[in-house]
């Protein structure tokens, strides 16, 4: 019999899935539901200046998903976006996933 240690915070989640989005909402609309199906995980979306209303779509369709917004940088920085997502994580382990 195997046992799993549940990380502190995250509502019993073991893993945080962090995905970033800048003008890739059509991809996120397909992949986010799949991420949410993963048991023992929480999901954080980083809307990095997306012109397609990513934050609004996430909050209206998946209100339990944490969505971080970046509005102070016109250029996309993957490392910065991932670091912002990581700061919102409630688990010890992170998995970075592209929106597509």
| Residue pLDDT, tens place only, 70-91 | 999 999 999 999 999 999 999 9
- Indicate the pTM of the whole model: 0.85
Structure tokens given for 16: 């945080």
Neighbouring CB atoms inside 10 A of 63's CB total: 8
Q: How far is CA 9 from the centre of its chain?
A: 16
* Element housing 36 (H / E): helix 25-36
What's the confidence (pLDDT) of residue 11? 59
Helices (H) and strands (E) in the chain, counts: 3, 4
């Amino acid at each position: 019999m195997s046992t799993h240690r549940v990380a502190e915070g995250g509502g019993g989640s073991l893993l945080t899935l962090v995905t970033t989005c800048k003008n890739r909402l059509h991809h996120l609309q397909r992949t986010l539901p799949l991420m949410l199906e993963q048991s023992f995980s929480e999901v954080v979306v980083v809307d990095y200046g997306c012109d397609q209303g990513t934050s609004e779509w996430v909050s209206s369709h998946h209100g339990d998903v944490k969505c971080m917004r970046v509005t102070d940088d016109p250029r996309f920085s993957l490392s910065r976006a991932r670091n912002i997502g990581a700061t919102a994580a409630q688990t010890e382990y992170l998995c970075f996933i592209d929106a597509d």
